[in-house]
Amino acid sequence: MNGTGTNPTHPVLVVGSGPTGLLLAGDLAAAGVPVTLVEKRPHEISNLSRAFGVHARTLEQLDARDLADELLATGSTITELRLFRRLSLDLGTLPSRFPFLLITPQYEVERLLERRARELGVEFRHESEVVGLRQDDSGVDLDVRGPDGEVVTHRAAYVVGADGHRSAVRRAVGQPFPGVSVIKSLFLADVRLAERPDSVLTVNGAGDAFAMIVAFGDGWYRVMGWNRRHEVPDDAPLALDEVKEVTRRALGTDYGMRDARWLSRFHSDERQAPEYRVGRVLLAGDAAHVHSPAGGQGMNTGLQDAANLGWKLAAVVKGRSPESLLDTYQAERHPVGEAVLRSSGGLVRLARARNPALRAVRALVSAFVNAARPAQAKALAQISGIGYRYAAPRGSHRLVGTRVPDVPLEGGRLYEALRGGRFVLITPKAAEVSSDQGSREDRLSVERWASDRRTTVLVRPDGYVAWAADGVDTRAVWAALAAHVG
């Protein structure tokens, strides 16, 4: 569709103000890139929430933006995840500043990210729906239908589609979204309860019924469940009585459920776009991948996509890095999306297992993970997001591509140092890396280990190692800075 008018070129247009688009737009603005966020919904923060679990790696990313403590105050934390009745994962052992799962509604995450984005100067355009897109070598034309129904074409150097699982941007660049439906019929209800469950998260499956109740901490509870005897389309009516009945079958009681403020059905797909980058158009969050809600990975994975893409896109737009840096977004995030699809899909298949062989596998997996520390640590690292590492070029130092934990530095801690959205070079205490920092001050901070560590590490703005060396070789440090920081 051709627009009826053309606006001047924007450096970046982000489509969709869900968690992914909000974090990305904020990061670009923080890096000094003017960014406009296009959202088809009117401006209102909904109190209806899809996601409710924020994992350790996401909290680390929010800490690097000084938002973690504020988010923590909105919810409650749990340190044990119970799956399939027998399998228990102890989040308290996670090697992170945040050894737990934070239960808080998605709208709290969005509220904080939106406030940050506005404070940093992101321009919001609500009631603006993307209806078409074309690109050439120098930019992208985005057709946007505004509140008055008129379609206007906006030109941008880059467009990011963070517009959810039905992404118009993904369709416009011709990316397929292959995959399958994993759960045909799930229900959701936000309710009040007369009796309080013993724990923040209560979950069980019995026979054909499955139910999970999560306490948001503000008097509202999320109930999610399925009933294999009653698999219906998403638009079939849902009454609170059905939610109560399935909950009683799965959990033995409905806790005196009442006052539903939201009742909805949905189905859960497992799909992934083959390419997260098509020329000047990038896909992130649910627009790039969707999976079952098991493990609570969706919003978390989208936020990690945004954290990975933001600094790279800023560096390319500002002319400090070649466009090829954007290919590393696909190389790093596509495999993570694939792994999340596999693990969340596996969890659902085991949870729904009916045939005796699969049930035996489930019992074996549970017993093994409960008993074997390395298996438990691996499962935890994956669910919490702290276990992912990115591929490193051949011959790199062993640390390259790994996540850096919140290590103490002489003047504070790493995730405080990352708050400027800059690279952080950490050197041994005695090292004399008196830098030419002056010219790189806006994108590099030089710090020293608080301990006697002898390694020199260059940390990317998203908290992964860009380059490392044992000891300090000043010439090698300069070369690394030139290659990575520009």
Residues 97-116 contacting ligand FAD, CB under 6 A: 106
Q: Measured from the CB atom, is 162 or 351 closer to ligand FAD?
A: 162
d(CA 232, CA 210) in angstroms, rounded, equals: 16
Query: Within 10 A of 308 (CB to CB), how many other CB atoms are there?
Result: 24
| Angle of CA points 317, 61, 102, to nearest 5° | 145
The amino acid present at 390, given as its one-letter code, is Y
Q: How far is the CB of 400 from ligand FAD (least distance, A)?
A: 28
Site for ligand FAD (CB under 6 A): which residue of 123, 129, 269, 416? Answer: 129
Q: Measured from the CB atom, is 170 or 280 closer to ligand FAD?
A: 170
d(CA 62, CA 298) in angstroms, rounded, equals: 16
Site for ligand FAD (CB under 6 A): which residue of 9, 34, 41, 48? Answer: 41
282: CB partners within 8 A, 6+ apart: 158, 159, 160, 161, 276, 309, 313, 326, 329
Site for ligand FAD (CB under 6 A): which residue of 87, 156, 162, 273? Answer: 162
From the list 157-165, 193-201, 308-316, 431-439, the region that binds ligand FAD by CB under 6 A is 157-165
User: Does residue 300 bind ligand FAD (CB under 6 A)?
Assistant: yes
Q: Measured from the CB atom, is 18 or 387 closer to ligand FAD?
A: 18
User: Does residue 286 bind ligand FAD (CB under 6 A)?
Assistant: yes
Residues 44-73 contacting ligand FAD, CB under 6 A: 50-53
User: Does residue 302 bind ligand FAD (CB under 6 A)?
Assistant: yes
Q: Measured from the CB atom, is 351 or 458 closer to ligand FAD?
A: 351
Site for ligand FAD (CB under 6 A): which residue of 38, 250, 260, 350? Answer: 38
Q: Measured from the CB atom, is 13 or 458 closer to ligand FAD?
A: 13
Of residues 390, 381, 280, the one with CA closest to residue 333: 390
d(CA 139, CA 156) in angstroms, rounded, equals: 6
Question: Contact 485/423 with Cβ under 8 angstroms?
Answer: yes
Residues 231-260 contacting ligand FAD, CB under 6 A: none
User: Does residue 188 bind ligand FAD (CB under 6 A)?
Assistant: yes
Q: How far is the CB of 120 from ligand FAD (least distance, A)?
A: 18
Residues 256-285 contacting ligand FAD, CB under 6 A: 266, 285
From the list 161-169, 235-243, 344-352, 451-459, the region that binds ligand FAD by CB under 6 A is 161-169
Q: How many amino acids of this chain bind ligand FAD (CB under 6 A)?
A: 34
Question: Contact 343/263 with Cβ under 8 angstroms?
Answer: no
Question: Contact 101/54 with Cβ under 8 angstroms?
Answer: yes
The pattern of x and - marking residues 2 through 21 that bind ligand FAD according to CB under 6 A reads: -------------xxxxxxx
Residues pairing with 180 in the sheet: 270
Q: How far is the CB of 22 from ligand FAD (least distance, A)?
A: 7
Q: Measured from the CB atom, is 293 or 310 closer to ligand FAD?
A: 293
Residues pairing with 277 in the sheet: 282
388: CB partners within 8 A, 6+ apart: 57, 304, 336, 339, 382, 403
- In sequence order, what DSSP letters do the residues of 103-129 get, joined into one string? E--HHHHHHHHHHHHHHTTPEEE-S-E
Residues pairing with 90 in the sheet: 80
d(CA 433, CA 384) in angstroms, rounded, equals: 35
Query: Within 10 A of 233 (CB to CB), how many other CB atoms are there?
Result: 9
Site for ligand FAD (CB under 6 A): which residue of 163, 190, 270, 447? Answer: 163
Q: How far is the CB of 149 from ligand FAD (least distance, A)?
A: 14
Buried b (16+ CB within 10 A) or exposed e, 359-372: eeebbebbeebeee
User: Does residue 310 bind ligand FAD (CB under 6 A)?
Assistant: no
395: CB partners within 8 A, 6+ apart: none
User: Does residue 130 bind ligand FAD (CB under 6 A)?
Assistant: yes
Helix (H) or strand (E) holding 80: strand 80-83
State CA 472 to chain mean position distance.
35
From the list 293-301, 312-320, 373-381, 455-463, the region that binds ligand FAD by CB under 6 A is 293-301
d(CA 309, CA 333) in angstroms, rounded, equals: 9
Q: How far is the CB of 402 from ligand FAD (least distance, A)?
A: 23
Q: How far is the CB of 140 from ligand FAD (least distance, A)?
A: 14
The amino acid present at 87, given as its one-letter code, is L
Q: How far is the CB of 8 from ligand FAD (least distance, A)?
A: 20
Q: Measured from the CB atom, is 109 or 399 closer to ligand FAD?
A: 109
User: Does residue 168 bind ligand FAD (CB under 6 A)?
Assistant: yes
Q: How far is the CB of 435 from ligand FAD (least distance, A)?
A: 37
Q: How far is the CB of 452 from ligand FAD (least distance, A)?
A: 39
What 3-state class would DSSP assign to 287?
helix
Q: How far is the CB of 259 from ligand FAD (least distance, A)?
A: 19
Burial of 108 (0-12, 13-18, 19+ CB in 10 A): buried
Tokens 């290590």, residue?
407
Please report, as ranges, the residues that interact with ligand FAD according to CB under 6 A: 15-21, 38-41, 50-53, 106, 129-130, 162-164, 168, 188, 224, 266, 285-286, 293, 296-300, 302
